[in-house]
Amino acid sequence: MKIINAKCPGCGALIKPNLGIGIVECEYCGSQVMFEDEEETNGLIAGEIQRKNDYDKERAKLPKAPLPKYTPWCDSGIRDHAMDWKDKSLEAAMREVTGIKKGDIMLSDVYKLTRLQLNEKGIERVDALNELVNLQSLVLESNSISSIACLTNLKNLTFLNLYKNNVTDISGIAYMPLLNDVRLDYNMVTDLTPLSELKYIERLYVYMNRVTDVSPLAGLISLRDLRIDFNPIRDISALKDLKYLESLNIQQTDIEDLTPLLKLKYLKNLHK
């Protein structure tokens, strides 16, 4: 009995059929794929389950990321002071977060924050956020930020989202060792070197930037999901040892040679 197609004809993603269903819709692009009968559909499911089990066993060998370390204000040993926001839009946004409409916002008022989301606030400078050392998640979508070089104290960050800014300098990321998920899409980044030591990162999106060299990603062995599409990249040989990579998007690049991907046995979603 023949499987008519096990990969999506629209985007090339691996189809994951449901038990007993002969026509399956691709979860990525909506294309439909037909399987001849229930027996072969179930066989493909069994293969996918085995692949996942093998994958999980292999990933279990990777070093575990340390947990973020929260420091209460009373144990910080820091002298309290009024925050100098250096950016009126950031100050206005933090007044919304704290509910402090007038007067100074003190460091002790914001020190406890572990998550911060300031989308579409017109922010240009984020220097003052460097004092919020308990932050674990920082989301700054759709602002006008050009640099995060100043963010050298955010060592507890596990999630950083800078989607749709004007970022060119990401050097502060080199001081964020626990990052697991980084979104830099729709910026003007050219140099990925600050990402090179992120040994716990599993998801990285840098699509729609100005990247030409992905060699700084060569050692990011924990990566599962990588988007480098819409960049003038030609060479992806640096990705050949990312053996846990499951999803890779290289659409709208200058990449022609895909042989570096041949040994990536767990790569199931390749968008090109």
Residues of the chain with pLDDT under 70: 1-7, 9-25, 27-28, 30-48
d(CA 22, CA 200): 39
pLDDT at residue 158, as a whole number: 98
| Dihedral of the alpha carbons of 194, 197, 200, 204, in degrees to the nearest 10 | 30
**Distance (Å, whole) CA 138 – CA 130:** 11
Alpha helices (H) in 60-179, listed in sequence order: 73-76, 88-98, 107-110
Distance CA 156, CA 72 (A): 14
Any long-range contacts for 214-223 (C-beta under 8 Å, 24+ apart)? Answer: 214/238, 214/239, 216/191, 216/192, 217/192, 217/242, 218/242, 220/195, 220/196, 221/62, 222/62
Q: Which residue has the tokens 């294309």?
A: 31
3-state secondary structure of 46: helix
Q: Is 40 helix (H, G, I), strand (E, B) or coil?
A: helix
- Please give the pLDDT value at position 233: 98
Please give the pLDDT value at position 3: 41
Q: What is the pLDDT of residue 47?
A: 63
How far apart CA 175 and CA 126 sit, in angstroms, is 15
Q: How far is CA 245 from the centre of its chain?
A: 13
pLDDT tens figures, 12-36: 666 665 544 556 667 667 666 655 5
Q: Is the separation of the CB atoms in 132 and 116 below 8 Å?
A: yes
Cβ count near 5 (within 10 Å): 13
Beta strand ranges found along the chain (DSSP E): 23-25, 32-34, 115-117, 137-139, 159-161, 181-183, 203-205, 225-227, 247-249, 269-271
Q: The tokens of 53 are what?
A: 């089990």
Q: Which residue has the tokens 């370390």?
A: 69
Q: What is the pLDDT of residue 52?
A: 81
H or E element at residue 54 = helix 38-59
201 Cβ neighbours under 8 A, 6+ residues apart: 179, 180, 181, 182, 195, 220, 222, 223
